[in-house]
Chains A and B, each alone.
Chain A
Amino acid sequence: AQTVTQSQPEMSVQEAETVTLSCTYDTSESDYYLFWYKQPPSRQMILVIRQEAYKQQNATENRFSVNFQKAAKSFSLKISDSQLGDAAMYFCAYWASRGNEKLTFGTGTRLTIIP
C-alpha cells in the first residue's frame, strides 16, 4: 500500500524568508502524481502544486517550487519570500494514475509565518 510521510508536524519561518517542507512516499508504481495542498485556518483546501512522476523537471508555481527526487521517493515543497498569507496546514498527497486509485494524504505540516 502507498504511504505518504510528512515528518514535520509544525514549521515556522520569518516573513520574506524561504522554508522547505518535506514529504516522502512509498510506492511500487512508476506512473503517479504528487500534490501539495494548502489549507488555511477555517478556509478551503486548495491545490498549490502538482508533479507528474514521468517529468524530470521540477514543478514551479510562482513562489512555490518542488524538489522531486524520484529515486529517493522524496517530494519537498519550497516556499520562497514567505508571506503572512502562506500560514496554513500543508498536505502532501500521492495518486497512482493506473486504475481507480485513491488519493493518499500525509498527516500535514502546520506552517507559521513570523512577522
Chain B
Amino acid sequence: EADIYQTPRYLVIGTGKKITLECSQTMGHDKMYWYQQDPGMELHLIHYSYGVNSTEKGDLSSESTVSRIRTEHFPLTLESARPSHTSQYLCASSQETQYFGPGTRLLVL
C-alpha cells in the first residue's frame, strides 16, 4: 500500500473562501500530481511537479495554484472558491508507477 496522504478528506465551504488541500507522500518520489475528477468520471490532470521548485500546469485549465517547497509535500490552493470548483481532487506521486492518495471531496456552496 502506497504512503500518500490527503487532508481534508471532505470539505464543505462557502463561495469566496480560500482553501488549501494538503498532499504528502513518504516514498521519496520526485514526481507529484493533482487530478480533478467528478464522481465516476475520467481524471483530469490540473498540476504536476517533477521535483522541488518545479510546478507545471496540466491538461485541464484550473484556477488553483500549487507549490513544491519540499519533496514530500505538494499542496493545492484555491484563492477564492466557487461552486464550479465542487469536485474530487486526487493527489498522486510516482517514480515509475503512480500511486494515489484517498482524495479530497470538495463542495463549494
Question: Could you tell me which A residues sit within 8 Å of B by CB distance?
Answer: 33, 35, 37, 41-47, 50, 89, 91, 93, 95, 97, 100, 102-103, 105-108, 110
Pair B96/A89 contact, Cβ less than 8 Å: no
Pair B97/A35 contact, Cβ less than 8 Å: yes
Task: Using A44-B102, A44-B103, A45-B90 as known contacts, say yes or no to A33 and B97 having CB atoms under 8 A apart.
Answer: yes
- Chain B residue at minimal CB-CB distance from A43: B102
Cβ contact of B40, chosen from A37, A43, A89, A102, cutoff 8 A: A89
Nearest CB on B from A82, distance (A): 19
Pair A47/B41 contact, Cβ less than 8 Å: no
Pair B98/A110 contact, Cβ less than 8 Å: no
Bound CA span A97–B97, Å:
10
Number of interface residues of B (CB under 8 A): 22
Cβ contact of A102, chosen from B48, B90, B96, B103, cutoff 8 A: B48
Bound CA span A19–B97, Å:
25
Q: Is B89 an interface residue, CB under 8 A from the partner? A: no
Interface residues of B in 11-59 (CB under 8 A from A): 31, 33, 39-43, 45, 48, 50, 58
Which residues of chain B have C-beta atoms less than 8 A from A89's C-beta? Answer: 40
Cβ contact of A103, chosen from B42, B50, B98, cutoff 8 A: B98
Pair A108/B97 contact, Cβ less than 8 Å: no
Cβ contact of B43, chosen from A33, A35, A105, cutoff 8 A: A105
Which residues of chain A have C-beta atoms less than 8 A from B90's C-beta? Answer: 45
Bound CA span A105–B33, Å:
13
Q: Which of A37, A97, A100 has the most CB of B within 10 A?
A: A100
Pair B99/A47 contact, Cβ less than 8 Å: yes
Pair A102/B100 contact, Cβ less than 8 Å: no
Bound CA span A46–B2, Å:
9
Which residues of chain A have C-beta atoms less than 8 A from B45's C-beta? Answer: 102
The 3 closest A-B pairs by CB, nearest first: A45-B100, A107-B42, A44-B102
Task: Using A91-B43, A105-B43, A108-B41 as known contacts, say yes or no to A50 and B102 having CB atoms under 8 A apart.
Answer: no
Nearest CB on A from B106, distance (A): 14
Bound CA span A47–B103, Å:
15
Which residues of chain B have C-beta atoms less than 8 A from A97's C-beta? Answer: 96
